[in-house]
Amino acid sequence: MELTPRADALLSKPLYEFQNYKRNVQNRSQLTIDEYLLDLRIFFKFIKAVRDDLEPTDEVFEKIDLRECDYGFMESVTPDEIYDYLSYLRNDRNISARSAQRKLSAVKSLYKFATVTGKIKNNPARDIDHSASKKTLPKYMTLTESEDLLNTINAEKDSKTKLRDYAIILTFLNTGMRLSELVSINMEDFDRDFTSLIVTGKRSKQRTVYINDAVKDAIYAYRDSLSEEQKAVTDPKSKSRHPVFLSNRNSRISNKTVQWLVHKHLVDAGLGYKQLSTHKLRHTAATLMYREGGVDVRVLQDILGHEQLNTTQIYTHVASSDMEKAVHKNPLAHFKPDESSNNNDDE
């Protein structure tokens, strides 16, 4: 039997006990409690999805088992993850600031309950202000950092996966593909001239992704390095489909392997401190196309496969933020008017 959102939420021990606390101790109505549970269900599932580097969509959420979200999981959540959750609500789900504040209140209420009752010791939501629910800018790499990452991989010696890893990260940075889209592509998805391919995105929606010569050359170099046996590897679900990127076991590369290799190379490039992920590489691609390439925001919307234009417009805010910072870095920004001459001439 399919679970209702409320029943799904109550699979989590913290949420089940939180419901009882709200009802029996604070005497809240079931309607109010249900609103809390629905908000907290999304919060837990978002954290789980992001940690697995999955696209935080409703389809992904439905596959996440909340029984794994115990008090240990609650205490492991960081303030940065809560900020990312608020950013997701405003930027991806396009909810109002007022609704975001309500959802943050639910998170803060849950953590207050858990700490007051001694279930957990640390409260990551304690110092997060309601003003944090305003729209925030996505994390991304600069052009120089992106170049450093690619050059770091290129400079590796004695790496059996160098060409594969380079092709994967270059594809992320040039196309803005989602992780699920990249690992799913097959050689048969490309057109005859190898200039575009069909990917399947959210809600099984297909779109055309164009590739440039850099991506084309990188994939060619990687595929040419494979043995004939490796090139012949097919997808178990469809023997007529040949996965582009393979694992060390000569099967389609998994999400977790791509997550791991991206993290490894970011650390090797000295970028581990930025706490980036495969999804942040998608943000980087979009930001660089808009800022450095001058790509129109509506074209960028189609490239990324966004259904709503306002989801894409976050990258225009990134550019605006940079312009504001640039004004303050002007070498003449320190000049001030001399107010000493503004005295009374009659004296």
Summarised one tens digit per residue, pLDDT across range 282-291 is 888 888 888 7
pLDDT tens by residue, 66-112 = 888 899 999 999 888 888 888 888 877 778 888 888 999 999 999 99
- pLDDT confidence band for 1 (50 / 70 / 90): very low
The residue annotated as part of the active site, out of 21, 36, 85, 315, is: 315
What's residue 308's pLDDT?
Answer: 65
Q: Which of 108, 135, 139, 202 is catalytic?
A: 202
Query: Known catalytic residue: 306?
Result: yes
pLDDT of residue 318: 62
328 carries an active-site annotation: no
Identify the CATH class of 5-133.
mainly alpha
Output the pLDDT for position 347: 45
Residue from 45, 103, 265, 306 carrying the catalytic annotation:
306
Q: Which of 223, 282, 283, 290 is catalytic?
A: 282
Q: Report the C-alpha gap between 125 and 110 in whole angstroms.
A: 9
Largest distance between two CA atoms of the chain: 97
For 143-322, CATH number out of 1.10.443.10, 1.10.10.60, 1.10.150.120, 1.10.3720.10 equals 1.10.443.10
Averaged pLDDT, 9-35: 89
Mean pLDDT taken over the chain: 84
Whether 232 contacts 242, CB under 8 Å: yes
**Which residue among the candidates 279, 280, 283, 290 is catalytic per the annotation?**
279
State yes or no: pLDDT of 134 exceeds 60. Answer: no
**What would the pLDDT profile of 200-254 be if each residue is shown by its tens digit?**
876 677 888 888 999 999 999 999 999 999 999 999 888 889 999 999 999 999 9
Distance separating alpha carbons of residues 310 and 134, to the nearest angstrom? 15
Burial of 219 (0-12, 13-18, 19+ CB in 10 A): buried
Averaged pLDDT for residues 127-132: 71
Q: Which entry of 178, 242, 280, 283 is annotated as an active-site residue?
A: 178
Is position 279 annotated as part of the catalytic site? yes
Instruction: Identify whether 242 is a catalytic site residue.
Output: no
pLDDT cut 70: percent of the chain above it: 83
Break the chain into its structural domains and give their ranges.
Answer: 5-133, 143-322
Active site residue 282: yes
The residues that bridge with 235 in the sheet, in sequence order, are: 238
Is 134 annotated in the active site? no
